Structure 1
């Protein structure tokens, strides 16, 4: 039985295409292995961006934190535990201003912990979150997987870089794009995403 962590980040609620497709993918992966899904909805329940107290707290061992720092570190500690417990991670985001939602960036800032999810060695940094499969669902109004707009897609290169830095190098990207090109384009994109979801679930 696999443990799947579903992270959605769109603030658009039920209208979100990235959330829908990511949820469908997580469900398909769970059905394949009779797995459990833990859901972290960053759109409905956003994580506060790092502040002075939290930044200090997550750099300390729990025993070295004062009461205020201990309270501030709780969410980061919980997010790291969720990540470490998962076998597979499904991340859903829209492409907004050529990158990911800020809520997803805050999640990353909270899980990127020196000595916990990565460490520095004499040979360079080493990611400590290993052996996990990551699926990224990226929804976009235009077409950014290839073609003339591809250089504007900073979301996928960034996510692959930061996830790889943390040790998660097996990353599959599912694009749902061209959503601003009318109802037929949306229907085509969703049909393609459904087909790709089925393929990924079977291959996993």
Structure 2
């Protein structure tokens, strides 16, 4: 049995296939999870809605607490890190992270940025040692073989590498950089475009994204099953 962590970051509360003003990224992430449940019904699903319930932004107290060694932390420091610890624990439990992340002003929504800031934790998801030769920091999740799927939505079009708006896409590149820093480098991305146009191109993009999700679910489920067979040949 594997664990899937399902994240949603849209400010819109509904799904565009159910609600008239619902979120496309929520629609895509839900479609992925629904397909996954059909393929692997025994897997555990964790859910975190950072769009409707964003984590608290990092504060000066948070930074002080996070960079104080656990053995010397005062009680208030543990309180300051409680929410962050919960988010990190969920990330560590997950074999697969599926994140619905729309593009807001060329970047990630504020709630997802707050989530990122809470899971990038010295001593828990990355290591740091000033005396270490070369780079003083290193990823701590590399050997956990986690996979990340980013399911996005964009108002305009042409944000893929080599296309007309690729230079303005600070969503997937940012997410890949952050999670790669932690040691999660197996990253897949699917996004809907043309939302601002609302015409046939949007509908075609949604339909293609859902087909791509179904193919990706089959691919990742097979990889997971293959890895299990190798680790447990009996």
RMSD: 1.4
Verify the 8 A CA contact 1:2 1:30 in the aligned structure 2. Answer: no
The equivalent position to 1:29 in structure 2, one of 18, 32, 36, is 36
Point out where structure 1 has 5 or more consecutive residues left out of the alignment.
none
Mean alpha-carbon deviation: is it higher for 1-10 or for 23-32? 23-32
| Residues 1:102 and 2:110 are matched in the alignment | yes
What residue is the counterpart of 2:229 in the other structure? none
Report deviation, 1:188.
1.1
TM-score between both structures, scaled by the size of structure 1: 0.94
Distance 1:25 1:55 in 2: 35
- For the Cα contact (< 8 Å) 1:93–1:100, is it kept in 2? yes
Gaps of 5+ in 2: 15-21, 221-234
Question: Does 1:113 find its partner at 2:93?
Answer: no
| 1:92 pairs with 2:70 | no
Q: Which has the higher strand share?
A: 1
**What is the aligned partner in structure 1 of residue 223 from structure 2?**
none
The 4+ residue runs of structure 1 with deviation greater than 6 A are none
Distance (Å, rounded) in 2 between the aligned partners of 1:162 and 1:53: 22
Q: How does 1:52-131 map to 2 (within 5 A)?
A: 52-120=60-128, 121-124=132-135, 125-130=137-142, 131=145
Mapping for residues 1-204 of structure 1, pairs under 5 Å:
1-14=1-14, 15-34=22-41, 35-120=43-128, 121-124=132-135, 125-130=137-142, 131-143=145-157, 144-146=159-161, 147-204=163-220
TM-score (norm. length: structure 2): 0.82
Q: Which has the larger radius of gyration?
A: 2
